[in-house]
Chain A
Amino acid sequence: MASSSHPSAPCAACKFLRRKCIQGCVFSPYFPPEDPTKFTNVHKIFGASNVSKLLNEIAPHQREDAVNSLAYEAEARLKDPVYGCVGAISVLQRQVLRLQKELDATNADLIRFSSNQNILRPPQVSGSSIQNPHVLPTSDYYGIYSPWNYNP
């Protein structure tokens, strides 16, 4: 992921910003000159100075993942300016809830099948939504910050 070893080749960010790519440029390890679109997208959505501030607040070993996630979000926002990658989150949440309900129903059928036979005592089932960890946890992290009811 390091930029070109050629000393005079600026990284994609400095090339875009038309500035000298100095030794220790915060962008250069993550925005190689061979992939100009990556920085263009990130700059368009987040802005170079915001990205720079964010990277400076993150440990160096985590910066590559951070840049890649920003690039992903930026591309998603450019493809869908209204919802960005949050649209995908919403779809996935719906799928999780749907499958959870289906699993609960299937488990209920299994239990019903067995209790109808009246052979064994029905088991203590821990498949309820409250206990089942497949349901999205109700901590603040998800419970309050649902995309469409944002109210900090």
Chain B
Amino acid sequence: MASSSNSPCAGCKFLRRKCQPECVFAPYFPPDQPQKFANVHKVFGASNVTKLLNELHPGQREDAVNSLAYEADMRLRDPVYGCVGVISLLQHQLRQLQMDLTYAKTELSKYQNHNLSGTTAQGLMAAAAAATATHHQTLGNNLISCCGGGVTRDHLYHHNPPFFSARDQQTSVLRAFDVSNNYDTAAGVLAMNISSSGIGQHSQFQQPRATAAGTDDRPATINPS
């Protein structure tokens, strides 16, 4: 991943300086990805990134750069909300999924616990159709339009108060950001959904503490496609 001795890294090329052998950017900003550094520089600034990388163990720097690049890209695509818009959207999706799942499981348990008659079988069909169709068309349209044209408050918040409409919501969001707890449990999902009705107040997601490479706490590679 390091640039060759003749080719400056994307960082040094952008900054028009000599790319030294010990350049902190070189391993993570190859010359064939100029946009990556341009984005990071625009949002965070080269000196802030340098300071941040220098405070990290070398083994953590690649992940740090990739997460900074992602954040920068999201911020440039959505200057108002950036990654926070993505978080809100995912939380909303999670709540909807939880509701749908609860409904579907309730229906399933009803029919598993009773002898089926002709009448109940019809109800079963209706339950299956409802569990897949409830809110989906509207939500699907909202998601597609959100993702195609950027996240807007109207799309996200048509049922809920705005994410940042009150300082209290922001405070609860920040307070809930507890790196010492692992969110990746069913209890965490349910807790997030039971708590309240506002999107901001739902932000009880907790971030797994970064650990050595290869452990389950590392964020997984996500390929939604």
Q: Are B139 and A134 in contact (CB under 8 A)?
A: yes
Known: A84-B68, A87-B219, A136-B224. A66 touches B79 (CB 8 A): yes
Checking B47, B71, B98, B224 against A135 with a beta-carbon cut-off of 8 angstroms, the contacting residue is B224
Q: Which residue of B lies closest to A126 (CB)?
A: B132
Interface SS majority for chain A: helix
How many angstroms between the C-alpha atoms of A150 and B29 in the bound complex? 11
Number of interface residues of A (CB under 8 A): 78
Say yes or no for A22: interface residue by CB 8 A criterion. Answer: no
How many angstroms between the C-alpha atoms of A84 and B60 in the bound complex? 12
Which bucket holds chain B's interface residue count? Answer: 35 or more
Q: Which of A113-148 contact B (CB under 8 A)?
A: 113-114, 117, 119-120, 123, 125-127, 132-139, 141-143, 145-148
Known: A92-B94, A113-B124. A84 touches B177 (CB 8 A): no
Say yes or no for A85: interface residue by CB 8 A criterion. Answer: yes
Q: Are B81 and A69 in contact (CB under 8 A)?
A: yes
- 1/0 per residue, CB under 8 A from A, across B8-38: the answer is 0000000000000000000000000101100
Binds B, one of A3-11, A12-20, A70-78: A70-78
How many angstroms between the C-alpha atoms of A107 and B90 in the bound complex? 22
What are 14 contact pairs spanning A and B, CB under 8 A? Answer: A69-B80, A69-B82, A83-B67, A88-B177, A90-B219, A103-B97, A103-B101, A113-B112, A125-B129, A133-B141, A134-B97, A137-B147, A141-B147, A147-B67
Task: Beyond A137-B224, A146-B70, A152-B35, list 12 extra A-B contacts (CB 8 Å).
Answer: A71-B170, A80-B210, A87-B210, A89-B87, A93-B222, A95-B189, A99-B98, A107-B104, A126-B132, A149-B221, A150-B36, A150-B70
